[in-house]
A = this chain, B = another copy of it.
């Protein structure tokens, strides 16, 4: 069997499994998830053994220390994975919700009801905990999952998926399909385009990782992809802002966790308040050793001997404004007014999360209406764009696309719907 045939068989099995999964009752899915959590906790030793093989692979591949750390599973991380499954079991079932219910003049009753999407491919990088996390969300929403993690995590990922499926079988017997959760069994990179050409079996692909991975997947895929290229988020400090609030929001958005996609990369400051705001900001960010990349106006103010920004301060290049640093680096730009700030965001933003700080409600309303991002904020840190913070309970990713789902994606976003029409012999005139 060649690779294309192998992928076709894999995907066809997922498609068949998806029909069975779509019919599981909420209690069945939850029982399976709880059994899976127990099985992961009971398997700490063999899972760590599988993970040690991966760590050896990782070492031979010359992974960085940070990547090795993401790859490693210790008992604490395994228990956290198990707890994640229990948390998903506790969430409401997204399948079978009635989105619409209408009776037409002819007596035909139409209900729009949520159903699983079907087969979801998740492509991700090192961290093996994504395996349990993504598979549990897909299972709770009645979908079959095909997982493709990093090649250095293959042993851990296969162990996790097999253990989850075995626990599902023990709990539900034949009603739980073997192919509910599958890991692509080969590290061959050609498996991805082969899998993502199978539009008859795969309903959605969600790549999770760096921009390069996501662009490659999108380019290769014939099946629909929901993605999140990058998070270039802005804090716009309007002339009418409470500047102390602006400092707190900017500090939080930049430094609370710089590696996240909802961290801020650029602050835009109205010219009218730049000479007051920037020295205050500099004092705060210097204490966190944030590098500032400034436009000429900001550079002049920040270079003033009275400020003398003690950390790195360099001129911003135009391409800096397009960067997701994921680091303690911040672009600083002085703008004339709201339209200039919005023009900057339109040109350089990634349509992820952007915030305005102002006391002027009219200006804020215009910003919220015209900035076309997944999340737009007024007097709030951009760091809140997150399924947990939004009250979704869990998150499979954040979409910067506009079709199907935008912003944090929880269980509801893993569903489609169908129309159910019930009548008494109605025919069309």
A residues with CB within 8 A of B: 19, 22-23, 102, 104, 108, 110, 115, 117-118, 203-204, 218-219, 222, 224, 226, 242, 245, 248-249, 251-253, 256, 346, 364, 368-370, 372-381, 383-385, 389-391, 401-404, 406-407, 416-428
Contacts and interface: CB of A to CB of B under 8 A. Distances in A.
Contacts of A389: 104, 108, 428
A403 B406 contact: no
Contacts of A242: 425
A374 B428 contact: no
Chain A: interface secondary structure? Answer: mixed
A222 to B, nearest CB: 8
Nearest to A204: B403
Contact of A425 (B249, B375, B406): B249
Given A403-B117, A403-B224, A421 B204 contact: no
A424 B346 CA distance: 25
B380 A22 contact: no
Contacts of A421: 375-378, 380, 384
A60 to B, nearest CB: 37
Nearest to A105: B391
Contact of A401 (B224, B253, B375, B425): B224
A346 B19 contact: yes
Contacts of A19: 346, 370, 372
A406 B381 CA distance: 36
User: How many chain copies?
Assistant: 2
27 contacts: A19-B346, A19-B370, A104-B391, A108-B384, A108-B389, A110-B390, A117-B403, A118-B372, A218-B222, A219-B222, A224-B401, A242-B425, A249-B425, A251-B427, A252-B428, A253-B427, A372-B418, A375-B419, A375-B421, A376-B421, A378-B423, A379-B423, A380-B421, A380-B425, A406-B418, A406-B419, A407-B418
Contacts of A224: 224, 401, 403
Given A104-B391, A252-B428, A115 B372 contact: yes
A226 B401 CA distance: 14
Contact of A419 (B110, B251, B376, B403): B376
Contacts of A390: 102, 104, 110, 419
B248 A427 contact: yes
Given A115-B372, A372-B115, A374-B419, A383 B425 contact: no
Given A117-B403, A384-B421, A406-B418, 18 more contacts: A19-B372, A104-B391, A108-B384, A204-B403, A224-B401, A226-B403, A249-B427, A252-B428, A253-B427, A374-B418, A374-B419, A376-B419, A378-B422, A379-B422, A380-B426, A403-B403, A403-B404, A406-B417
Contact of A252 (B204, B373, B427): B427
9 closest pairs, A vs B, by CB? A252-B427, A380-B423, A402-B416, A383-B428, A404-B404, A245-B425, A377-B421, A375-B419, A381-B427
A373 B418 contact: yes
A257 B423 CA distance: 20
A355 to B, nearest CB: 8
A102 B420 CA distance: 29
Contact of A248 (B364, B370, B419, B425): B425
Given A389-B428, A426-B381, A117 B402 contact: yes
